[in-house]
Amino acid sequence: MRFLTEEEYSIASRFLFLSMAIAVIRLDIRNVEQGAFKIKAPYLEMLKKMESLALEERRELRIRMKKQSIEVVTLNKNDSFSSFLFLCQGREEKRNFFNPTIRKKVETIIQELLVHALSALEQNVQLSTSSNS
């Protein structure tokens, strides 16, 4: 049975999967920094822009969650499933996610962030080349 509204669940789940995406991006940043890349700067710039965009979105989600008294709590994790408790204004809803589904949701968020980061970086390049002219 569902106890959260679609909007409440949407906010909470986006916060949850965005937080996971941030963890993946941070791990990727460390791997690029320590990796055998000949030229690291473009990759690091892109990953750090993705992290910045994700952190800003998560900050906004956290504000909305606080206003609506929404929380997400990790309950259990095993090889196949992860369980989370969604709380909102005294209502509780437990959700179980198949781990490959979580991976796909996080991957989708990372792809969204990549598109936004590349767009932002492209605008910066266009601005710097037009100001140098």
Sheet containing 81-88, strands listed edge to edge, beginning at the edge strand earlier in sequence: 70-77, 81-88, 91-98
Nearest CA among 82, 86, 83 for reference residue 7: 86
Q: Which two tokens stand for residue 67?
A: 């206003």
pLDDT tens, N- to C-terminus, the chain (133 residues)? 578 899 999 999 999 999 999 999 999 999 999 998 899 999 999 999 999 999 999 999 999 999 999 999 999 999 999 999 999 999 999 999 999 999 999 999 999 999 999 998 888 777 667 666 5
Q: CB-hemisphere CA count at 13 Å for 8? A: 20
Residue 18, Cβ neighbours under 10 Å: how many? 21
Place of tokens 């909007």: 7
Give kind and range of the element (H or E) at residue 28. helix 6-34
